[in-house]
């Protein structure tokens, strides 16, 4: 059986002077049977008892004043007098007294609240406990402290029962003990809307509306909110889209049909603006926008859902928004392949996942470039007979099959031409920080330790010649990164397969190639992270914190949005 406890802040005993004597004031509360009350908080105790609510314990917060004598003529303290009154209505009452210092700072007061909460939690000790609260007593700010304490205890598992206030009219000298649970429950409603806005959850709202009679439009809105929350948790894309549209429609329906006479409609109407603000992109545009859905998940800490949606939907988004397109023949081949896919994957997701290039064109191009750089360009430079155009023309003939050309790559031209110049004029190496040498910054950085040991131009030239003569071709391609396909392979290694398919004309793109490869590179990094997570791999991916992953994914979403092809 559940225990019942009462939490109150003790009010001072009121006195009146009659015929030169100090007397204890009395008050009549209409809904408290029996004799008049002589202390304010007594009315709440008696009200609960006549509702057949047995009080297993009373927790009393006391100020310095109520622990002191009532008056010079009345040596009993306010607290002692209250406890004596309790004996009349609740013999052998179990009370726990807690001193509250009203002069403490705000932080110190919060410590008192936490300590009081601990005492009550210790009493509860895992049992079912109903917490009743009397908000009548104390200074002006005490009601806020009592509410904070009540919320704290509710979160720790206690069930809030009656929330009372003894409302006394000094003119009529009568009063009523009023139930304020509906006012207190506003906290639950506000917390519920906040929870939905921040986390897409309706748990708190369901608790609030569990015992409330609500209108049909509000019920449909709450059902739509719950369906939306379930769709987020399950991350079923089709269900998610349907839930977004349903939420949009039922929110609009509620606003159109809400009743000004219905208190629950009116309260929810005051909070709709917050939902409208935070769900604007999802709800009020019924056209699907995958980027905004992913962004919403990231901003509301649904990282796993964002990973799944990004991995599954971005290839389709790139296709739908014409980042890439296919010829009729290639489209038919891909469509036929997808029809036979047992996993039911979409067309462009299948392209990104399953279609492989027939040959490794870029790797072949890289090898040819490296060999030509070592065997043709460097030999011509050493002989002081280097002509970039002639060398590039010859190399392009060998790269034609891969649809790659180096002839019009200005960075590579500047690198090789300045290398040829320092072979002819070693004095250029006297100042290694000269702007003229900037194209060779990677080469000079590679050799910096040796170059800085000598000062003369020809000595530094000799070091460069020795390096160029003995360095493997793979090293040369790193320091001469002006060849565009070399740069792209090193800069976007995870996008290499897609780049190969682009070379093979499996599809075409409608934005600059490097921007497209940057988007694809981020896509595959995110996909790798999703696989690490889904398969519970022990090793980390690129990201070790949700903060870094969220930041990366938001940047990836923004990059896609910024590069949308023109209609």
DSSP conformation letters of 100-116? --TTS-HHHHHHHHHHH
Phi, psi of 425, deg, nearest 5: -130, 80
Residue with tokens 């039922």: 250
* Sign (positive or negative) of CA dihedral 314, 317, 321, 327: positive
Report the alpha-carbon distance of residue 92 to residue 464 in Å, rounded. Answer: 99
Q: How far is CA 468 from CA 94, 97, 382, 431, in A?
A: 92, 88, 10, 20
Report the alpha-carbon distance of residue 215 to residue 121 in Å, rounded. Answer: 37
pLDDT of residue 126: 77
Report the alpha-carbon distance of residue 528 to residue 526 in Å, rounded. Answer: 5
Q: Where are the alpha helices (DSSP H) in 471-511?
A: 473-479, 484-491, 496-503
**Helix (H/G/I), strand (E/B), else coil: 7:** strand
Report the alpha-carbon distance of residue 78 to residue 39 in Å, rounded. Answer: 9
Query: Which residue, 52, 295, 246, is CA-closest to 162?
Result: 52
Check if the beta carbon of residue 130 is closer than 8 Å to that of residue 4: yes
Q: How far is CA 467 from CA 156, 258, 461, 471, in A?
A: 71, 81, 10, 6
Report the alpha-carbon distance of residue 119 to residue 112 in Å, rounded. Answer: 11
Query: Which residue, 316, 324, 358, is CA-closest to 501?
Result: 358
Q: Where are the alpha helices (DSSP H) in 326-409?
A: 328-339, 347-354, 361-372, 378-382, 388-399
Kindly report the number of other CB atoms within 10 A of residue 405's CB atom.
15
User: pTM for this one?
Assistant: 0.67
Structure tokens at 208: 């609030």
* Sign (positive or negative) of CA dihedral 345, 348, 349, 350: positive
Phi, psi of 426, deg, nearest 5: -60, -20
* Sign (positive or negative) of CA dihedral 74, 76, 78, 82: negative
Is 562 buried (19+), middle (13-18) or exposed (0-12) by CB count in 10 A?
A: exposed
Is 495 buried (19+), middle (13-18) or exposed (0-12) by CB count in 10 A?
A: buried
Query: Which residue, 402, 564, 430, is CA-closest to 488?
Result: 402
Beta partners for residue 134, in sequence order: 8, 164
**Helix (H/G/I), strand (E/B), else coil: 24:** strand
104: CB partners within 8 A, 6+ apart = 112
In the DSSP assignment, the letter for residue 67 is: G
Cα atoms found within 13 Å of the Cα of residue 159, Cβ hemisphere only: 10
Phi, psi of 525, deg, nearest 5: -65, -40
Cα angle 377-378-382, degrees, rounded to a multiple of 5: 120
Report the alpha-carbon distance of residue 188 to residue 166 in Å, rounded. Answer: 23
If the chain, 567 residues long, is cut into consecutive pieces of 10 residues, what is the mean pLDDT of each piece? 90 79 82 89 93 93 90 89 92 88 70 82 88 81 78 84 87 85 78 80 81 86 88 80 86 86 85 77 70 89 91 94 94 91 89 89 88 93 94 91 84 95 95 95 94 94 95 88 85 91 91 94 94 62 84 96 89
Structure tokens at 283: 């709800």
pLDDT of residue 284: 60
Report the alpha-carbon distance of residue 318 to residue 333 in Å, rounded. Answer: 19
Check if the beta carbon of residue 299 is closer than 8 Å to that of residue 336: no
Check if the beta carbon of residue 265 is closer than 8 Å to that of residue 253: no
Helix (H) or strand (E) segment spanning residue 29: strand 28-29
Structure tokens at 162: 């009656």
Report the alpha-carbon distance of residue 188 to residue 468 in Å, rounded. Answer: 74
Residue with tokens 């739908």: 320
Domains of the chain: 3-179 (3.40.50.10640), 187-288 (no CATH), 303-355+506-562 (no CATH), 361-491 (no CATH)
**Helix (H/G/I), strand (E/B), else coil: 394:** helix
pLDDT of residue 197: 79
Stated length of the chain: 567
pLDDT of residue 359: 81
Is 532 buried (19+), middle (13-18) or exposed (0-12) by CB count in 10 A?
A: middle
């Amino acid at each position: 059986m559940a225990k019942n406890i009462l939490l109150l802040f003790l009010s001072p005993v009121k006195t009146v002077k009659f015929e030169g004597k100090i007397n204890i004031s009395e008050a009549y509360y209409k809904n408290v049977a029996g004799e008049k009350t002589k202390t304010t908080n007594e009315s709440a105790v008696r009200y609960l008892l006549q509702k057949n609510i047995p009080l297993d314990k009373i927790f009393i917060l006391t100020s310095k004043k109520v622990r002191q004598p009532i008056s010079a003529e009345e040596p009993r303290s306010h607290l002692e007098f209250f406890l004596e009154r309790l004996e009349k209505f609740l013999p052998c009452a179990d009370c726990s007294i807690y001193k509250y210092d009203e002069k403490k700072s705000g932080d110190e007061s919060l410590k008192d609240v936490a300590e009081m909460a601990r005492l009550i939690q210790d009493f509860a000790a895992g049992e079912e406990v109903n917490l009743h609260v009397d908000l009548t007593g104390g200074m002006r700010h005490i009601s806020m402290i009592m509410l904070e304490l009540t919320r704290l205890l509710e979160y720790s598992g206690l069930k809030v029962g009656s929330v009372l206030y003894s409302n006394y009219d000094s003119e009529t000298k009568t009063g009523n003990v009023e139930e304020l649970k509906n006012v207190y429950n506003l906290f639950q409603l506000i917390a519920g809307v906040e929870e939905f806005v921040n986390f897409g959850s309706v748990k708190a709202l369901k608790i609030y509306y569990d015992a409330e009679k609500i209108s049909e439009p509000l019920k449909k809105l709450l059902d739509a909110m719950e369906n939306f929350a379930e769709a987020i948790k399950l991350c079923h894309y089709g269900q998610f889209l349907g839930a977004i549209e349903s939420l949009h429609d039922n929110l609009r329906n509620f606003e159109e049909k809400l009743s000004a006479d219905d208190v629950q409609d009116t309260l929810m109407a005051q909070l709709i603006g917050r939902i409208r603000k935070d769900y604007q992109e999802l709800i009020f545009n019924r056209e699907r926008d995958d980027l905004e859905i992913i962004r919403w998940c990231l901003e509301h800490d649904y990282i796993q859902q964002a990973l799944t949606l990004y991995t599954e939907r971005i290839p389709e988004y790139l296709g739908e928004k014409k980042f890439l397109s296919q010829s009729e023949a290639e489209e038919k081949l891909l469509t036929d392949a997808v029809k036979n896919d047992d996993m039911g994957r979409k067309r462009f997701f299948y392209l990104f996942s399953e279609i492989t290039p027939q040959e490794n064109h870029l790797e072949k191009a890289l090898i040819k470039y490296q060999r030509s750089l070592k065997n043709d360009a460097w030999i011509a430079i050493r002989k002081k007979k280097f002509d970039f155009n002639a060398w590039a023309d010859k190399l392009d003939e060998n790269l034609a099959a891969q649809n790659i050309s180096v002839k019009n790559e200005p960075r590579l031209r500047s690198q090789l031409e300045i290398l040829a110049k320092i072979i002819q004029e070693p004095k250029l190496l006297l100042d290694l920080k000269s702007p003229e040498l900037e194209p060779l910054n990677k080469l000079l950085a590679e050799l910096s330790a040796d170059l800085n040991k000598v000062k003369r131009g020809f000595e530094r030239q000799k070091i460069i010649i020795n390096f160029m003569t003995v360095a493997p071709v793979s090293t040369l391609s790193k320091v001469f990164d002006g060849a565009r396909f070399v740069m792209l392979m090193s800069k976007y290694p995870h996008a290499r397969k897609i780049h190969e398919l682009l070379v093979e004309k499996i599809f075409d793109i409608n934005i600059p190639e490097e921007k497209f490869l940057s988007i694809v590179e981020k896509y595959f990094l995110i996909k790798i992270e999703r696989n690490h997570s889904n398969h519970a791999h022990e090793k980390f991916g690129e990201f070790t914190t949700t903060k870094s992953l969220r930041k990366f994914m938001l940047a990836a979403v923004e990059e896609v949005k910024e590069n949308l092809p023109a209609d």
